[in-house]
Amino acid sequence: MSLKVWFDGQLVDKEKAIVSVYDHGLLYGDGVFEGIRAYSGRVFELDAHVRRLFDCAKAIRLNCPYSPEQIKAAINETVSANGFTDCYIRPVISRGPGDLGIDPRKAPRPLTFIIADQIVMYPKEMYEKGIAVVTSSWTRNLINATSTRIKSLNYLNNIMAKQEAGDAGAHDALVLNHLGHVSELSAANVFTVRDGVITTPPLIDGCLEGVTRNAIMKLAGKAGIRCVEQSISRFDVYVADEFFATGTGVEVIPITQVDQRQIGAGQAGPITRRLVEAFHNHVREG
Ligand code: PMP
């Protein structure tokens, strides 16, 4: 049986979910998207993800023809139509098909679609051993250029960093902003651990307001672990006791090598382990 994609209001076979070559999402990267997971038959933080999707759409003046409530229902419908209990979900709102030229008024009706599928990130052992990252030579977009708060179809800055990391034999890239402050990885937030305190860069340093980031900050608070939002430099990362990344795709993963420096003991540290466990319990709570 073919995978079903929710395509502008209808569930269609994956093969029939086809976008026009005139779609401004494809031609100009004009659109927004989300990455969401379902665990044990329940979509994790559905409200937060749909809120971010609509906030991002508002920021680029993209009027989705569906309401947030309709999109939430469509997400649930897509997951169940495919019989998934655990999956990755990708809603996209593109500016839609239109005449050539970047003016959004040329594309009168945005195109909305939702994919539910499996996603392969890292093999299981990396969650124990940790991943290696290198600092990217690509600076994070300025927040007053293409705002890093917007999860837009313009992911080239992130893709170039990821590609560079692969070329260097690393798993991902540590991306800095124009001031040299750590922003995040190519598509995940980061946290350092030092003397029992966890620190994550503030949004103004060029990172996305990650749903997983927010969940980890809450879970840390519940576990009595102090968590601060504060600018960090590469030096702070090099001398951290532990370093880890968070995101819907990677979930919570230790980072044990940065620019050829070993972080901590070179494997998942005690606070990272506690938070990984708390996170996995949390996502499956009813
Ligand atoms: N930063 C960027 C640039 C991302 O694309 C993502 C993935 N959405 C994240 C951080 C992590 O955010 P979340 O936890 O909401 O998936």
Q: Would you list the DSSP string of 152-205? A: BS--HHHHHHHHHHHHTT-SEEEEE-TTS-EEE-SSSEEEEEETTEEEE--GGG
Task: Tell the CATH topology of 4-117.
Answer: D-amino Acid Aminotransferase; Chain A, domain 1 (3.30.470)
Using one digit for the tens of pLDDT, what is the confidence trace for 163-193? 999 999 999 999 999 999 999 999 999 999 9
Say how far apart CA 261 and CA 280 lie, in whole Å: 29
Cβ atoms 189, 247 nearer than 8 A: yes
Half-sphere exposure of 152 (CA within 13 A, CB side): 25
Q: What is the phi-psi region of residue 112: left when phi exceeds 0, alpha when psi lies from -120 to 50, beta otherwise?
A: beta
Ligand 1 atom closest to 49 (CA): 15
Q: What is the mean pLDDT of residues 207-222?
A: 98
pLDDT of 154 higher than 90? yes
The structure tokens listed for 170 are: 């690393």
Q: Is 1 a residue whose pLDDT tops 90?
A: no
Catalytic-labelled residue, pool 14, 151, 162, 222:
151
Tell me the CA–centroid distance for residue 100 and ligand 1, in Å. Answer: 31
Q: What is the DSSP letter of 38?
A: E
The SS3 call for residue 7 is strand
Is ligand 1 within 6 A of the CB of residue 206? no
pLDDT-derived band at 269, boundaries 50, 70, 90: very high
pLDDT at 286 over 70: no
Task: Round the average pLDDT of the chain to a whole number and report it.
Answer: 97
- In a mutational test of the pocket of ligand 1, which residue from 49, 208, 219 has the highest number of ligand atoms less than 8 Å from its CB? 208
The burial class, CB within 10 Å (0-12 / 13-18 / 19+), for 197 is middle
Listed in order, strand segments (DSSP E) in the chain are: 4-7, 10-13, 31-33, 36-39, 42-43, 87-94, 111-117, 131-135, 172-176, 182-184, 189-194, 197-200, 227-229, 242-247, 251-258, 261-262
Residues of the chain with CATH 3.30.470.10: 4-117
CA–CA distance, 23 with 21 (Å, rounded to integer) = 5
Q: Is 200 in the pocket of ligand 1 (CB under 6 A)?
A: no
For range 53-75, the mean pLDDT: 98
Whether the predicted pLDDT of 223 surpasses 60: yes
The pLDDT of 1-28, averaged and rounded, is 97
pLDDT in tens, 25-61: 999 999 999 999 999 999 999 999 999 999 999 999 9
- Nearest alpha carbon, ligand 1 atom 3: 187
3 Cα to the center of ligand 1, angstroms: 25
> 3-class SS at 103?
coil
CA of 185 to the centre of ligand 1 (A): 9
Average the pLDDT over 138-150 and give the result.
Answer: 95
In the chain, list all ranges with CATH 3.20.10.10: 126-285
**Ligand 1 centroid, distance to 187 Cα (angstroms):** 5
Give the pLDDT of residue 285: 85
Has 14 been annotated as catalytic? no
Q: Is the pTM of this model over 0.95?
A: yes
Pick the CATH number of 126-285 from 3.20.10.10, 3.40.190.10, 3.40.50.1220, 3.40.367.20: 3.20.10.10
Identify the three-state secondary structure at position 136: coil
Neighbours of 199 (CB within 10 A): 21
Cα–chain center distance at 194: 25
d(CA 12, CA 9): 9
Name the pairing type of β-strands 87-94 and 31-33: antiparallel
